[in-house]
Structure formats: C-alpha cells, structure tokens
Amino acid sequence: MEVVYWGERTKRFVRSLDREVKIEVGNVIDLLVQEGHMIEMPDSKSLGKGLFELRIQGRVKVRVLYIFHNNKAYILHAFIKKTWKIPLQDIRYARQIQSEVIRLA
C-alpha cells in the first residue's frame, strides 16, 4: 500500500526524533505499507470514523494518526504520547486534516 504524508508538519516531527525512535517509527510505517488494511493490534488501532493510530511502544511512545482514502494510507499527524489517552486536541487536529484529505485527494 502506498503511504502519503499529508503536509510537512508530520515529516518534520518524524525527522526530529532521535535515531532509535525514528527507526522504530519507520519499522511500523513499513508494516503499514506491507499489511495495509490488515494491520492490527498491537501495531495499529482504530479511533473510529475512519481514523487510525500507529502505535510505537518503545522507550518513547509515539502515535502516528492516519486514514485510508483512495487505496492509499495518509499520515495526518504524529506526536509523542505522554498521557494514558490520546489528547483530544490531537484527535481534533487529525480530524480536520482528515476532512481536508477527503475533500482534496
């Protein structure tokens, strides 16, 4: 499956991670490329309404929010998870981008 980063913000975030964490993120994204819709826990989880999270569980917990649209996976947002639940502001931000992708892609 083709994976597309939507916008520069997420690319910059991933590039800013230290080498070890960046490799872990890359490995899970590679798994998304290989597995597509078939990727499942513990690597991916549905957040509802077509939004999913990639779960990087290493020493630094990173979440990468993505959607499927037109036979591609679009990476919308990524962040370091510091709390038990995903902050609502991160979900809202991803949902805004989700609407944009669906409208423009």
Note the pLDDT tens digit of each residue in 3-34: 999 989 999 999 999 999 999 999 999 999 99
pTM: 0.95
Q: How much is the pLDDT for 58?
A: 83
Per-position DSSP letters for 11-63, written without gaps between them: HHHHHHS-HHHHHHHHHHHHHHHHHGGG--TTTEEEEETTEEEEEE-SSS-EE
CA nearest to 32, candidates 69, 66, 61? 66
Domain range spanning residue 62? 2-104
Tokens of 3: 């994976």
The CATH code of the domain that includes 62 is 3.30.2310.20
* pLDDT tops 90 at residue 105: no
Number of domains comprising the chain: 1
Note the pLDDT tens digit of each residue in 31-61: 999 999 999 999 999 999 999 999 999 889 9
